[in-house]
Amino acid sequence: MKRIVTILLVLLSGVVTGYAQQREKTVDYQAVIKEAFELYKDDKSGKNADYIPFLAAVNPDMYGIVLATKDGKIYEIGETKYEFGIESIEKVFTLCMAMELFGDSVILEKIGADQTGQAFNSIPAIEMAGRKPANPMVNAGAMATTSLITGYYGKATMWEKIDAYFDKLAGRDLKVLDELYQSEAATNVHNQAIALLLKSYGYMYDDPLVACDVYTKQCSYGVNTRDLAVMAAVLANGGVNPLTKERLVKEKYVPKVLAIMGTTGLYETTGTWMFNVGLPSKSGVGGGIISVVPGKYAIAVFAPPLDKAGNSVKAQKAIGYIAEKLQANVYLGK
C-alpha cells in the first residue's frame, strides 16, 4: 500500500510540475502589456522636465511599453520607435561598465551604495553621506563612476570605449541626440559644481569637468523603448544580451547592480516603489523607466510627464499593473 501511495504522489507531483511549466509557457505577455497600455493611455498626470529645454518640448502624450524576455522575445505596444533621451537610466549601464573594469569592491569603496533620501542632484546629500558620492544612481555618484572610466581610458579613447559598450547593450548603434546634448551642456552648471565639490573631497578620479561633460553626453543618448527593454533584459538574462548572446556583465555583478537599482533607482521614492511593486528599476527624466525581473524578463515604458521626484508617472502605473498581473514582485520568490 505504501508503495502505491508513493507512486501516486510521484505521478501527481509530475502532473503539477508539468502544469506549472505549461502555465509559465502560456503567459500572454502581449495581452498584459496591452491591458496596461489601455488603462493609462489617457492619464494626464505629471509634467515634462522643464529645466532642460529639449525635454520640455517632447510631446507629453507619447506612450510606449516593451517587454523583452531573457531568450530574446519582444512584446511591444504604443510609441516604441521614437528616440528620446536615455537620461539617468544610463547610470545603470555606466555602473555595469565600471564593475567590469574595476570589480564591485572598488565601486563600494570609491562611490558607495546607500540611498541618500534626497533629490538626484542634491548637494546637501553629499555632505550628509560623509562628503562621498553615496551611490552610482544619483548625479554625484554617476559622475564619479564616469570619472573612473574616463581616467582609465584617457581622452583619446574614452568615448569610443563607452560608445562601443552601450551599442553592445542595445544590440545596435546608438547615437547621441546632439540637440539634447547641447541643451544639457548649456544648463549643467549645477552638475559641474557637484563634480568640483567631489574633486575637493577626493572622490573624482579624473578631471571633474571632463567627467561631467562625458556624463552629460551619456545622458543624451537617443534610445527608443525597445532599446531600453533589451538593455534591461541583459540584466534579466544574467549579464548576456538576449539578442546577440554576448556576455556584457559578469554574472556575479548582476545582483549587485540590481541591489543598487532596488535601493535608489527611483531616487527618494524608491522605498515606496519597492514596497508597492517590488522590482529593481531605474528612471530617467526623459520619461523612461526600466524594471528587471531576474531570470525572466525586463519591462521598459516611455511616457514623458514626471512626478516631483523625476519619475514618469504613467510608466510607474503601467509597470505596477504589469508586475501585479504577472506576480513579478521579486519578494514573492516565484
pLDDT in tens, 170-182: 999 999 999 999 9
Which grid coordinates are listed for 80?
516604441
Residue 268 has pLDDT above 50, yes or no: yes
* pTM for the full predicted model: 0.91
Euclidean distance between CA atoms 123 and 207, whole angstroms: 19
* Other Cβ atoms within 10 Å of 307 Cβ, number: 15
Radius of gyration of the CA atoms of the chain, in A: 21
pLDDT the model gives residue 156: 94
Residues 6+ apart with CB under 8 A from 303: 40, 62, 63, 64, 287, 312, 313, 314, 315, 318
CB environment 291-302: b (16+ within 10 A), e (fewer): bbbbebbbbbbb
215 annotated to bind ligand: yes
Could you read off the pLDDT of 107-135 as tens digits, one per residue? 999 999 999 989 898 999 999 888 999 99
Task: Confirm if 77 and 238 have CB atoms less than 8 A apart.
Answer: no
Q: Average pLDDT, stretch 75-104?
A: 97
- Does the 29-329 domain belong in CATH 3.90.550.10? no
234 annotated to bind ligand: no
pLDDT tier, 14 (very low <50, low <70, confident <90, very high otherwise):
low
Q: Which helix (H) or strand (E) holds 84?
A: strand 84-85
Residue 139 has pLDDT above 70, yes or no: yes
Domain boundaries, the chain: 29-329
* Other Cβ atoms within 10 Å of 189 Cβ, number: 9
